[in-house]
Homo-oligomer: A and B are copies of this chain.
Amino acid sequence: MKGIRDLARHLDISIGTVSRALNGKPDVNEETRRRVLEAAESLGYVANQSGRALRKGSTGVIGFMMQTGREITGQGDTFFMSVFDGVQAVLARHKLDLVALLCSSEEDPHDYLARVVARGFADGLIISATRRRDRRLELLAKHKIPFITLGRSLTDAGQPWIDLDFEGMAETSIARLVERGHRHIAVTRPHDDTNLGYVFVDRCRDALERHGLKLDESHIFRSTPNEAGGYQIARDLLACEVRPTAIVLVNEAVAIGFYRGLSEAGVKPGRDIAVIGRQSPHSQFLSPRLTCFSLSLRELGIALAQSLLATMPAYAESYPDSAGRRLWPMELVAGESDAFTVSPD
């Protein structure tokens, strides 16, 4: 029960054969293989992770690095849980396990990752919350660890990435709002240096200009990507000299705080201002329902895993054409929060 040695002794077979049988290698009689598998099952034997990893040089685990402390990720309640589920659906087919590597908010993410890498903890990594410039990517590339990022970065280490299509969101939102007569459209961005802020605002600016409008720099609202941030955005917006008649919220958690901030001033989304945001578990339960951009999180997880495995020699053959770098589409789900239109005066 202790190790493969005991299992071998119990079966009166050499440990080499037992190992081969368990790992599905050839050169082992089908009858013996059956016996071995049976005995392993009944005795509850599972190969020790450390021994195997030491010998093979691979651990069989894929790490998903994230940082504890909410303000950092800017994702809402269930985002990661759903993505994980998709990732695992793919990994399970290869007997790979997924673990979340949790970097404390007190530790530097780069240092943390350096430790993870040097210790040989995982065979591959998924990196979330990438920064606009991110030394972690260079580190991983230097150590030749297969990895993929959820989010782009200016730092290019040649790795694959998947990012939400904030460009598309910008285009679609602006077009929709302009068509409804809005001339003063506000946009938001996270307070920190995640790449999405730059991408999104820039693209909104472009889209507006293409419609002959100009993005008022005082109508770019920066906030933490959480409920309190949304509240702050509402306060800031209401204090504007020229009040925007529409706004696009780029972070999913801010909507509810934003609603609250408006309502305290008697301003109602959909009636007095048009609001477009991101889908979240509660966006359809707000009043009015939030017009928002949705995406399939589980599918996103599947795509992440596939693209990662495609870069790992041992698994690449199963994923011949998993695109390396791509934007993940988001789809507009109409609610009533953007019902407010402006008449051409």
Contacts and interface: CB of A to CB of B under 8 A. Distances in A.
Contacts of A48: 54, 118-120
Interface string A72-86: 010111111110110
Given A44-B114, A99-B100, A106-B89, A121 B49 contact: yes
Contacts of A285: 227, 230-231, 256-257, 259-260
Interface in A150-200: none
Nearest to A289: B260
A318 interface: no
Given A78-B77, A119-B48, A285-B260, A99 B102 contact: yes
A77 B76 CA distance: 4
Given A45-B118, A76-B76, A257-B285, A101 B99 contact: yes
Interface string A31-59: 00000000000001111111101100001
A113 to B, nearest CB: 11
Contacts of A63: 99
B49 A120 contact: yes
Contact of A77 (B114, B231, B253): B253
Nearest to A60: B119
A60 B238 CA distance: 52
B85 A78 contact: no
Interface string A275-301: 000000110111100000000000000
A99 B121 CA distance: 11
A121 B99 CA distance: 11
A49 B256 CA distance: 44
27 contacts: A44-B114, A45-B118, A46-B118, A48-B119, A49-B120, A50-B51, A50-B53, A50-B54, A68-B84, A68-B85, A68-B88, A69-B85, A70-B81, A70-B82, A73-B81, A76-B281, A88-B102, A88-B106, A89-B106, A92-B106, A98-B102, A98-B104, A227-B281, A227-B284, A230-B285, A256-B285, A282-B282
A107 interface: yes
Nearest to A83: B68
Contact of A100 (B50, B79, B102): B102
Contacts of A106: 88-89, 92
A253 B182 CA distance: 35
Given A48-B120, A70-B81, A257-B282, 13 more contacts: A46-B115, A49-B120, A68-B88, A70-B78, A70-B281, A76-B77, A77-B80, A89-B104, A92-B104, A99-B101, A227-B285, A230-B285, A256-B285
A77 to B, nearest CB: 3
Interface string A226-258: 110011000000000000000000000100110
A49 B63 CA distance: 15
A218 interface: no
A38 to B, nearest CB: 17
Nearest to A105: B85
Contacts of A226: 281
Contacts of A73: 77, 81
Contacts of A256: 256, 282, 285-286
